[in-house]
Structure 1
Amino acid sequence: MAEPVALAALVLDAGVGWPGWLYRLVGHPVGGFARIITACETRWNRPEFSDKSRRALGVVTVLILLGVAGGGGWLVQSLLLHWLGPVGWVGVALLAFPGLAQRSLFDHVRPVRQALAAGNLPGARRAVGMIVGRDTAALDEPGVARAAIESLAESFCDGVAAPFFWLLLLGLPGLWAYKAINTADSLIGHYEIRWRAFGWAAARTDDGLNLIPARLGGAILCLVGFGGWRVMLRDASKHASPNAGWTEAAMAGVLGLRLAGPVVYDGAAHDKAWIGDGRSEADARDISRALSLYVRACLALWIVAGAALWLR
Structure 2
Amino acid sequence: MFEPNLLLAALVVEACIGYPQALYRVIRHPVVWIGIAIEVLERHLNRPELGDEARRALGIVTVVVTAGGAAAVGYLLQTLASNVSFGNALIVLIATSGLAQHSLFTHVRAVVQSLSNGDLIAARRAVSEIVGRDTSILSESGVAGAALESLAESFNDGVVAPAFWLFVGGLPGLFAYKALNTADSLIGHREPRWRMFGWAAARGDDVANLIPARIAGALLAIAGGGGLLVMWRDAPKHASPNAGWPEAAMAGALRIRLGGPAAYDGVMHERPIFGAGSSPTLADLKRGLRIYVIACGLLWLVAAALAFSQWQVK
> Fold match, TM over 0.5?
yes
Residue 79 of structure 1 pairs with residue 80 of structure 2: yes
The within-5 A match list for 1:280-291 is 280=279, 282-291=280-289
Query: How far is 1:79 from its partner?
Result: 2.3
Give the TM-score taking structure 1 as reference length.
Answer: 0.96
Separation of aligned partners in 2, 1:141 and 1:77: 45
Residue 10 of structure 1 pairs with residue 8 of structure 2: no
What is the DSSP-based 3-state SS (H/G/I as helix, E as strand, rest coil) of the residue aligned with 1:196?
coil
Query: How far is 1:7 from its partner?
Result: 0.9
Q: Given the alignment, which residue of 303, 306, 310 partners 2:304?
A: 306
Query: How far is 1:305 from its partner?
Result: 1.0
Residue 137 of structure 1 pairs with residue 132 of structure 2: no
> Which position in structure 2 is the counterpart of 1:257?
256
> Which position in structure 2 is the counterpart of 1:123?
122
Provide Cα deviations, 1:243-293, integer angstroms capped at 9, x if missing partner.
01000000000001100101111111111121110111x222111100100
> Which position in structure 1 is the counterpart of 2:176?
177
Contact 2:19–2:96 (CA under 8 A) maintained in structure 1: no
Separation of aligned partners in 2, 1:82 and 1:18: 25
Query: How far is 1:204 from its partner?
Result: 0.2
Contact 2:223–2:292 (CA under 8 A) maintained in structure 1: no
Residue 208 of structure 1 pairs with residue 207 of structure 2: yes
Query: How far is 1:135 from its partner?
Result: 0.6
Separation of aligned partners in 2, 1:37 and 1:243: 23
Separation of aligned partners in 2, 1:131 and 1:77: 31
> Structure 1 vs Structure 2: percent identity of aligned residues?
56
Q: CA RMSD in A?
A: 1.1
Contact 1:13–1:102 (CA under 8 A) maintained in structure 2: yes
Contact 1:2–1:169 (CA under 8 A) maintained in structure 2: no
Contact 2:127–2:147 (CA under 8 A) maintained in structure 1: yes
Structure 1 residue runs of 4+, over 6 Å off?
none
Greater shift in the superposed pair: 20-29 or 156-165: 20-29
Query: How far is 1:66 from its partner?
Result: 2.3
Q: Which runs of 5+ in 1 are unaligned?
A: none
Q: Which runs of 5+ in 2 are unaligned?
A: none
Name the aligned partner's letter for residue 11 of structure 1. V
Separation of aligned partners in 2, 1:77 and 1:50: 40
Separation of aligned partners in 2, 1:191 and 1:119: 37
What is the DSSP-based 3-state SS (H/G/I as helix, E as strand, rest coil) of the residue aligned with 1:47?
coil
Between the two proteins, the alignment pairs up a number of residues equal to 309
